[in-house]
Structure 1
Amino acid sequence: MGKIGFAKASILCLVDNAAKLQTKEKLHKIGVCADSLCLICGEHDETHEHLFFKCHFSKECATRIKTWCGINNQSLSFSQIIEWLARRRRGSQVRRFVQAAAMEATTYCIWRVRNEAYWVHKIQNIDHTVKHIQQIVKARSLCCLPKKVSNRDKEWIESL
């Protein structure tokens, strides 16, 4: 299992690259789309900031995943949460890894839902998306466990 620094670097790269993604706002500016409304909520312009941090869909997914994996940080910004996890010394490295993986999976799945809305004209509901994120994180965490892991951490992951 990689160190928290690897997960931190991975998600910060993902979020940084997300800022370069072709949101509807960018596509509208170059004439590819008729409007710039968010494909998920349809209420605001689909900017990077809105899609990943302000859209009700993203906020609800992030809130549920944070609660599920025990992140008690109030921030909705994924990069701030990862910074908090990296600075935090309480808790095991295994738990911090799982929590960082959960934030990474949430970011990825939000973009996946957005792409499905764009290409297939279908929007997954929040419950389905959260359950999918949980399955990804649990499966990834169990397969990547180091040989020496405390029973407490193993039981925690299995209970997720």
Structure 2
Amino acid sequence: MKPDSSWYWRKLCHLRGKFSPAEVKNVGVTGIFKASKLYNNTLSQHPVGYHQAVWCRLFIPKHRFLLWQVVNSQLLTRDNILSFCIPLETLLCPVCGFYNESHTHLIFECYIPKKVIELIFAWMGFRAWPIEFTGWTVWLASRRPGVISSITNMILDAVIYYLRRNRNIYLFNGFTWTTDYLAIDIMNIIQYRLFIVKNRKLTLQEQRFIGKITM
């Protein structure tokens, strides 16, 4: 290698010995070489059954990203922060102050999530998902494609986002929204989002469901 070779060329030469010719050919089989695909092939990947229920185009992007964090238990709840050996004054939930904060408590056990979810279920007309963490993740993985299924997932997505946002508002600003206000906010954002599907060809059941939650 020449002494005046660029850092980029040096890096390429360094990587040359880390991949076999077969691996390089595999990512360029379509005629277009994709470095990202070559890199991803070096990672140990564990497919999960709930990815399609999370990464749906109907969802608001920031909502689905937060749902992905929750379903993988990656939020910085106080029990997770403690696992990083970061000292905390307390592990108690910043909203209720009675129980340790965890993903299960944040979404299902704290008094505000319980009340908000009940209000949302009443609005939808049925109990849409399990209200405990393990059963909920299993339910999410078993979801099937369809308009009603996607809308139900989108509502769940919005519920989790607004509950997390309300927690952060209380933590940093010292106040929390009422459960009625949170539920109405969730309903409004869903109704706005449903304008996307109103022009699609829908079954009678789908039309009735959308009509019920947008009236």
- Equivalent residues in 2 for 1:10-49 (5 A)? 10=55, 13-17=68-72, 19-27=73-81, 30-31=86-87, 33-49=88-104
Q: Structure 2 regions of 5+ residues with no counterpart?
A: 1-49, 56-63
Once superposed, what is the RMSD of the aligned Cα atoms?
2.8
In 2: Cα distance, 1:63 partner to 1:81 partner: 18
Higher relative CO (CA 8 A, sep ≥ 6), structure 1 or 2?
Answer: 1
Contact 2:128 2:152 in 1 (8 A): no
The answer as to 2:116 corresponding to 1:61 is yes
Q: How many residues align?
A: 149
Q: Structure 1 regions of 5+ residues with no counterpart?
A: none
TM-score (structure 2 length as normaliser):
0.58
Contact 1:25 1:46 in 2 (8 A): yes
Contact 1:69 1:102 in 2 (8 A): no
In 2: Cα distance, 1:82 partner to 1:63 partner: 19
The answer as to 2:54 corresponding to 1:9 is yes
- Residues 112-153 of structure 1: per-residue CA shift (max 9 Å, x gap): 111111111111111111111111111112234453124663
Partner of 2:106 in structure 1? 51
> Rg: which structure is higher?
2
The structure-2 alpha-carbon separation of the partners of 1:45 and 1:6, relative to structure 1 and needing over 3 Å to count, comes to: closer
Partner of 1:82 in structure 2? 140
The structure-2 alpha-carbon separation of the partners of 1:98 and 1:70, relative to structure 1 and needing over 3 Å to count, comes to: farther
TM-score (structure 1 length as normaliser):
0.75
Q: Which has the higher helix share?
A: 1
